[in-house]
Structure 1
Amino acid sequence: MPVLTDVASGVPQGSSLEQEELFPIREVARLTGVNPVTLRAWERRYGLIVPTRTDSGHRLYSMADIERVRSILEWIERGVAVSKIGKIGKILAKTAPLKALSHLIPSDLVQADYTQWQQQVQAAVSAFDEAHLEQVYGQIFSSYPLTVVFQDILIPLWKQLLLRQDTFGQASEWLFLDGFLRSRVLQRLLLVRSLQPRRVIVCALFDQCRELELLITALFLSSVDSAIQVLAIGQPLDELTLICERIKPKALVLFSNHAPTSDLPRHLNRLAMSLDCQLLLAGDAADLAQSSLAESSIGCLGSEGSIMRQRLKQFLAGNLDT
């Protein structure tokens, strides 16, 4: 007698798979935001997920599997490389929720992992080997989210080289890494710009940052549903009103990593009064100036990538007060 199969799921009727609700890979991707290619990689390369298989070989995931995927995402957001998640204490083999076992991975272990990647980047930079640097760069992105890649791994090394330029050869190494990173960040910005409908302008405040820092800030913010337009370093502050009149952005983000001067609130308030869009401040200056701008219409996004992204989204939606 032939075995009857549910057409929609490919699950044999009457089998043990009917005892719990199971989801095909496309539905898991929709529920978690993790694409099917990544889900298969987590299974094949690292054994992080072991879905049920139908007789025809299709993957089916339980609610426990979906929760495990979400827990993996939380670990990755915390800075743990995906390749390390299943190895430390065989965490995923335990029945306890992954997030309940967070004490098993100390911060110094995470930092050691960052340092290992920085050493590989440094080796490629010291050899001026762009092909090797490209390879390491891709491997880092396959292991960590965007904010960790730049904030915790690449930018700290970039800053170290910047501070050591008095030593022979260090200036050339910094220029090599800086040029490489700027080109890669620009590629990513161009990739997402065409996919996003709303527009946000990002501009350096009084040239108080380097181009790479400005571009990375724009990249962090571009994860929101907003096309980001970056203005060149050297943009006059008093001409921003003209630019905003022409472009008609939803928001203008000024970026600075310098300590704010006492007259900064006055400059920003004057600019805000001339704009038809939201004026926002980002970078270290936003953290330091937040109290002095508390009674103004100017919003502070902060200096950490994921927080900036979240606050921008809330400002654009009108759900966060300045």
Structure 2
Amino acid sequence: MYPIKAVAELTGISAETLRAWERRHGAIRPVRDAQGRRLYDAATVERLGRLFRLTGRGHPIRDLAALDDAALDRLLDDGRQAAYGGVELLPERLLAAVAAYRVDEFDRDLAVAIATLPLPVLLGRVVMPLLREVGVRWADGRLAIAQERLVSSLLRTRLLAVLAPAANDRRPRLPFATLSGEPHELGLLGAALHAHEAGVAVLYLGTELPAEEIARVATHVRAPGVALSSVDPGQAPAALAALRELDALLPAALPVWLGGANARYLAEELRSPRIRAVTDPGTFTRLLGSA
């Protein structure tokens, strides 16, 4: 049996909302201890998880409150199946929306995909194909800098919510960042989501961090490694200097994983045992498992 504070931490639902769902809608029925405090069993916590996911997709709690757990599961499954139907076409649809600066359309379709698709499907069939195509179109000039930045900002807003740590997760975190002068973060976001799906606690720092700051954060959080991305060829010399500084500042043997178009060049130039270029998600997942 869990007290209301623990349930709020486990489910992400505030204590005030839990009380409202009980009193106003009758969606749950906790028991009371001798002092009158609410207690929730494991089945109720699981039900709350279903309700939380469905309300996040736009279902009003008043419509869900009277449904039993089997009906809630069917509703969740219906949403997943409906989203699967056109998932292969979604990256192209998102790119068409951003090409025409239809921000509301892009954001709506992305939000539905995040809410309805399991993370492996979201990554493998939506996010990663979208990132690859954005990179190709940006490189050959079909996507303007403003459009690439727009994709980045919209993805960042939505996907960072996926990466948000649970309140009770105290594990050491793996920092993700780009070095100073490197504003491109789409590949970094994709790598952070892969790590999250692999069960790694992620600390997403974002773009353009000095080597000294990255080293300070990694040391402070007892990080199992550091994940960096470098894409812009014009930034390769500066990235090389920053990585040499980072190599000297980090604790001994702490691994550094490099992704992005510059990764192979940088790793070969540095020849540091700790710094490794990572060019595919499968290799990254294996490295994370051995860290």
- TM-score of the two chains, using structure 1 as the length reference: 0.50
Does the CA contact (< 8 Å) of 2:95 and 2:130 recur in 1?
A: no
Q: Are the structure 2 counterparts of residues 266 and 254 from structure 1 closer, same or farther at C-alpha, using a change threshold of 3 Å?
A: same
Of 207, 228, 233, the match for 1:233: 207
| Structure with max Cα Rg | 1
Q: Which has the higher contact order (CA 8 A, sep 6+)?
A: 2
Of 192, 198, 202, the match for 1:218: 192
Of 81, 87, 90, the match for 1:117: 90
1:232 Cα offset (Å): 4.1
* Amino acid aligned to 2:128: Q
- Residue 305 (structure 1) aligns with: 281
Match of 2:255, SS? Answer: strand
How many residue pairs were aligned? 210
Q: Are the structure 2 counterparts of residues 160 and 137 from structure 1 closer, same or farther at C-alpha, using a change threshold of 3 Å?
A: farther
| Mapped partners of 1:174, 1:286: distance in 2 | 21
Does the CA contact (< 8 Å) of 1:147 and 1:220 recur in 2?
A: no
* Amino acid aligned to 1:312: L
1:283 Cα offset (Å): 1.2
Q: Name the structure with the higher helix share.
A: 2
Q: Are the structure 2 counterparts of residues 280 and 121 from structure 1 closer, same or farther at C-alpha, using a change threshold of 3 Å?
A: same
Does the CA contact (< 8 Å) of 1:269 and 1:298 recur in 2?
A: no
1:254 Cα offset (Å): 2.4
| Mapped partners of 2:179, 2:125: distance in 1 | 25
- Residue 256 (structure 1) aligns with: 230
* Amino acid aligned to 1:213: G
| Mapped partners of 2:204, 2:111: distance in 1 | 23
* Amino acid aligned to 1:236: P
Gaps of 5+ in 1: 1-35, 47-80, 85-112, 317-322
Structure 1 segments of 4+ aligned residues over 6 angstroms from their partners: 262-266
| Mapped partners of 1:148, 1:287: distance in 2 | 26
Gaps of 5+ in 2: 1-69
Cα-Cα RMSD = 4.1
* Amino acid aligned to 1:231: L
Q: Are the structure 2 counterparts of residues 261 and 231 from structure 1 closer, same or farther at C-alpha, using a change threshold of 3 Å?
A: same
Counterparts of 1:94-105 in structure 2, within 5 Å, are none
Does the CA contact (< 8 Å) of 1:282 and 1:308 recur in 2?
A: no
1:229 Cα offset (Å): 1.5
Does the CA contact (< 8 Å) of 2:131 and 2:186 recur in 1?
A: no
- Residue 27 (structure 2) aligns with: none
1:204 Cα offset (Å): 0.8
Please state if 1:156 is matched with 2:133.
yes
Counterparts of 1:9-28 in structure 2, within 5 Å, are none
| Mapped partners of 2:282, 2:167: distance in 1 | 19
| Mapped partners of 2:185, 2:238: distance in 1 | 24
Match of 2:201, SS? Answer: strand
Q: Are the structure 2 counterparts of residues 292 and 191 from structure 1 closer, same or farther at C-alpha, using a change threshold of 3 Å?
A: same
1:35-54: CA deviation from partner (whole Å, max 9, x where unpaired): x969x949x969xxxxxxxx
Does the CA contact (< 8 Å) of 1:120 and 1:136 recur in 2?
A: no
Match of 2:193, SS? Answer: helix
Of 121, 133, 142, the match for 2:117: 142
1:263 Cα offset (Å): 8.9
